[in-house]
Amino acid sequence: MPEPVGLIDKSGLRRDALRSVGQLLNATGALLRLDPAGATMQAIAERANVSVATAYRYFPTLQQLHTEFLYSVLVNARDYSLACQLNGKELFLDTTTKWVQILAIYGKALSQIRSPQGFLDRLDRGDITAVVVFETWERPIREALREIGVSERHFRHALLLFNSLFHSREVIDLHETEGFSADEIANLLAESFYGAVQGWARGSLSTQVVARYSQDPFLP
């Protein structure tokens, strides 16, 4: 996998600079949630109580600020997943529950900055947000695949299915419109994910059979 790209280097920043970066990230999340149309760099800097020049010093574009904010949220799920001692579907469900809880806080902001590019394309290009999703879900998904009897050769597409099912917008919809709790959402989407992956595996096998017979010269 390519090395992650797109994250600013904070290793040389002083404490006051790190504080300014943190204030900018917090302001970004708040404005994306409360007033996404007004979440300009100027508005974010004002809410963060830093100058616009300071904001642009750390984040030359609004897109870079969005990427840093998204990463700062995703890394919470990654660290939780990597530290979890569970296995199999228990690991997957536990990490899923944590992710739904994170979305309860940040989901509305995240739904405003979803990339128009496909997930697998971004992962192959080393996009930092796709890479951290991979790091978060590699072990839980591989463990779940083993337990439900699906070959790990379907892992890459299972990751794509997960990314589609557990989108922040849909999780928020299930909570706010349908009234499901975080635990209910985690259980429902986890079971839906297992079914989707098993259906993918069956569909993949059927596709291989059709492809094999379509090349048979004895067929009309």
Residue pLDDT, tens place only, 74-127? 999 999 999 999 999 999 999 999 999 999 999 999 999 988 899 999 999 999
In this predicted structure, the answer to whether residue 209 has a pLDDT above a threshold of 60 is no
- Taking the model in full, what pTM does it have? 0.86
Show the tokens assigned to 97: 């529950």
More confident residue, 16 or 195: 195
pLDDT score for 5: 39
Nearest in space to 183 (alpha carbons), one of 111, 103, 101: 101
Q: How many CA atoms lie within 13 A of 53 on its CB side?
A: 0
Domain boundaries, the chain: 10-60, 62-201
Nearest in space to 148 (alpha carbons), one of 204, 100, 190, 184: 190
User: What span, in angstroms and rounded, lies between the C-alpha atoms of 64 and 56?
Assistant: 10
In this predicted structure, the answer to whether residue 183 has a pLDDT above a threshold of 80 is yes
Average pLDDT for 13-17: 85
Q: Which CATH number fits domain 10-60: 1.10.10, 2.60.40, 3.30.200, 1.10.3470?
A: 1.10.10
